[in-house]
Amino acid sequence: MIKLHWRVWLLILVLVGSALVISPSFESGVVIKSVDKNSTGFDEGLRTNMIIKSINDKPVSNFEDYTSIIGEIFPSKNKTSLKITTKDSEFILYTDEAPKITVSNIPRTKIKTGLDLSGGARALVKAENKSLSSSELNDLISVTSNRLNEFGIADVSVKSVLDLSGNNFMLIEVAGATPSDINELVSKQGKFEAKIGNDTVFRGGEEDITYVARTGEQSGIYSCDVYQGKEMCSFRFTITLSEAAAKRQAAITGNLSTDPANPDYLSKKLDLYLDDNLVDSLSISRDLKGRETTQISIQGSGTGTTSKEAYEDTINNMKKLQTVLITGSLPFKLEIVKIDTISPVLGKEFTKNLIILALIVFIIISIVLFIKYRKIKITLAVILTLFSEAMITLAIAALIKWNLDAPSIAGIIAGMGTGVNDQILILDEASFKSNSSLREKIKNAFFVILSAFSLVVVAMIPLFWAGAGMLKGFALTTLLGVSVGILITRPAFSEIVKKIMKE
């Protein structure tokens, strides 16, 4: 039995864990990314995340199969029966147009890719009935970015653009999103108002709301039940009002009487409006009359055809409302001028070329190492360590759900390049003829490696915190790569080198 050092065992265990995190999938079909709620498909039960296996008994293995089959069925305007078979169900649509759904290939791994690799949606947005100045546009971009970040959008780019006529627009790009997703996120102003009668008590945003509970006992789903044939869940979370908003509420409730039909409550309710639509009405306890109360409980609900769908809809509604309460309404009502789907075709071509380039680099490195050290074991040790660093870095990116774009991949490559340099340094020190022991030689090599690691960290941290776009992605994956190397792969490689040199 081969006896391995604990550092080598650690590398093996981390690699096994990385493989489990990445979780490669070979399932065929296409996954539904969005369904138009005003469509036949939605009425018949098609929902997001369902996997389509066949259409009219024709197998669907990928996105190309789906578009080809749909293209053959719907050149005509006559109504036809469309049988869509998903992984778990079958749906029959009687329609004269293609299903109003957006689909994509099933992800082969849990690694998330950015806009330039996996595609997404892009929207050109302007203020409705208003030409924005540069300062107004900057305010709009700031609030929009804050809202998208609060809502949990991972890879989003919001920037200003100028047309030939000098008009200012806001360009929003979201990786992995569909046009309906981005339309839902940015087309609404998100104006939140709480009113008692015609009097506004408070509005969304920091001026009136100082705290919004999003986790713990003060926020969550508190009931799910069947209501009028549909599954329905209800949510509740607590907010804290500013002193000015609390005084405003005390002044308004101080003029109310008790409800004759229910003496425990006041005669008017607290009505919650989102974009001028009433979303809920809350009864006001008579004990709150004229009191400056800063703690308010916000309630709402969600529905669905199944309990899971109702729960997810409720969570989504609660999250949107919390986001609007935190960020406030957009400073202007928005109009989407143009919205596009960005194809992942170029990303696929880039990935293919990247894989080919990586193989060429591996071959060149292998040849150079073999010529230099004349030992196949050393060559294999360097290449396998290099592969290990890349795999572990990708697994960490998948674990933290980081969207890998081209600059992020460049950061991984930079980390791997640093790894090759460090491994060659260890090999050169270990093979250098001197009176020092092998342990001392490798210790000297690690002193240089740690110094170089410190310099990389010092250079990358400012880029990560202050950078945007490519700077942030490049900095993060570079930091991950060199950290994996210094903590896991370099120590394991040094033990492997010791064993090879003693043979």
Residue 50 burial (10 A CB sphere; 0-12, 13-18, 19+) = buried
Q: How far apart are CA 112 and CA 118, in angstroms?
A: 8
Q: Which residue from 240, 260, 262 is spatially nearest to 249, judged by alpha carbons?
A: 240
Write the pLDDT tens digit of every residue in 45-91: 888 788 999 999 999 998 889 989 998 888 766 788 889 999 888 99
pLDDT of 312 strictly over 80: yes
249 and 355 fall within a common domain: no
Q: Which residue from 60, 63, 27 is spatially nearest to 344, judged by alpha carbons?
A: 63
430 and 466 fall within a common domain: yes
151 and 216 fall within a common domain: no
Task: Say which CATH number the domain at 478 has.
Answer: 1.20.1640.10
203 and 228 fall within a common domain: yes
Task: Return all residues near 298 (Cβ < 8 A) that are at least 6 apart.
Answer: 236, 237, 238, 239, 272, 280, 282, 321, 325
Q: How far apart are CA 467 and CA 394, in angstroms?
A: 21
Mean pLDDT (the chain) is: 83
| 368 vs 320, residue with greater confidence | 368
| 37 vs 361, residue with greater confidence | 361
Could you tell me the residue range of the domain that residue 495 belongs to? 6-24+345-502
What tokens does 47 get?
Answer: 């929902």
154 and 73 fall within a common domain: no
Task: Return all residues near 467 (Cβ < 8 A) that are at least 6 apart.
Answer: 474, 475
148 and 70 fall within a common domain: no
Residue 84: phi, psi to the nearest 5? Answer: -110, 120
Task: Name the domain count of the chain.
Answer: 4
pLDDT score for 375? 86
* 326 inside domain: no
What mean pLDDT do residues 427-448 have?
Answer: 84
Angle between helices 406-431 and 376-399 (to 10 degrees): 150
Banded model confidence at residue 117, pLDDT cuts 50, 70, 90: confident
Write the pLDDT tens digit of every residue in 216-237: 788 889 889 888 778 899 999 9
* 333 inside domain: no
Task: Say which CATH number the domain at 62 has.
Answer: 2.30.42.10
* 138 inside domain: yes
Residue 349 burial (10 A CB sphere; 0-12, 13-18, 19+) = exposed
Banded model confidence at residue 468, pLDDT cuts 50, 70, 90: very low
What tokens does 448 get?
Answer: 């240089």
* 214 inside domain: yes
* 351 inside domain: yes
Q: How far apart are CA 103 and CA 48, in angstroms?
A: 9
Q: Report the range of poorest mean pLDDT among 295-299, 388-392, 430-434.
A: 430-434
369 and 439 fall within a common domain: yes
Residue ending a domain, choose from 51, 75, 105? 105
Residue ending a domain, choose from 41, 71, 105? 105
Q: Is the pTM of this model over 0.95?
A: no
305 and 451 fall within a common domain: no
285 and 430 fall within a common domain: no
* 269 inside domain: yes
303 and 377 fall within a common domain: no
Q: How far is CA 384 from CA 11, 144, 215, 420, in A?
A: 11, 45, 43, 11
Q: Which residue from 360, 326, 350 is spatially nearest to 409, judged by alpha carbons?
A: 350
289 and 241 fall within a common domain: yes
Write the pLDDT tens digit of every residue in 244-259: 999 998 999 998 999 8
350 and 478 fall within a common domain: yes
| 162 vs 290, residue with greater confidence | 290
* 16 inside domain: yes
* 113 inside domain: no
